[in-house]
Chain A
């Protein structure tokens, strides 16, 4: 080995050592290539550019103007119950449902009890679903039990038949 490594300044040895230096550089280059290839296939390679473009779009003068216009036309306030942001004109109807008060909210109470929606935000969501798609549960007739009269007899439909009957 010592005989093969001639003087450190010989051109041949320098060339060989340069090859070793380039191999070290190539190792790190391959690491970068593999990670970039993986990021490209996972859709992450251009992610930082896309996020930067998105951030610029949100902060652009046009979008801030639009936000200001929206704010000026309808003041936004926050529901004290569910902390959702609403237009001021919608706050009262929302509170009616959200806090379980009012004429319409009382009809939905059985629905909330059935689905266990004690959470005000979930109850408001259920109310919104029912508004768009109609009642989720069939509406039952109200039984007025002011008098202490016995309940009406049950119908035979759906009653279990015992053996021998």
Chain B
């Protein structure tokens, strides 16, 4: 439990650094570009249409879509894109710690 709390604090600090420096927006833009190139949004939209057809247009809610589509969204992102993002974050953190030294 203590370790989990510590890790959560570390994550919060990393997020704060990313947001304050503007790196999080740049990462998001990079991710958006990469996902447009591979047609991720269109595939996700097709899944959304399937869910809407199953549940019905009047009954569909955002919560239904979030529950069904969020796991699909993560699964549809190519591994290379995820690794590129991870590498970018690591480089940013390394740069940040080097600057502070």
Residues of A at under 8 Å CB distance from B? 1-2, 4-5, 8, 12-30, 32-34, 36-37, 40-41, 43, 45-46, 49
Pair A33/B14 contact, Cβ less than 8 Å: no
Taking a contact as CB atoms closer than 8 A, the residue among A16, A36, A49 that contacts B14 in the complex is: A16
Report chain B residues within 8 Å CB of A1: 13, 17, 97, 100
Report chain B residues within 8 Å CB of A29: 44, 69-70, 73-74
Taking a contact as CB atoms closer than 8 A, the residue among A8, A26, A40 that contacts B90 in the complex is: A8
Q: How far is the CA of A36 from the CA of B62 in the complex (A)?
A: 9
Q: How many B residues are at the interface, by size bracket? A: 35 or more
Q: Known pairs A19-B11, A23-B15; list 15 more (Cβ under 8 Å).
A: A1-B97, A5-B10, A8-B90, A8-B93, A17-B89, A24-B31, A27-B28, A28-B28, A28-B31, A28-B73, A29-B70, A33-B65, A45-B48, A45-B49, A49-B49
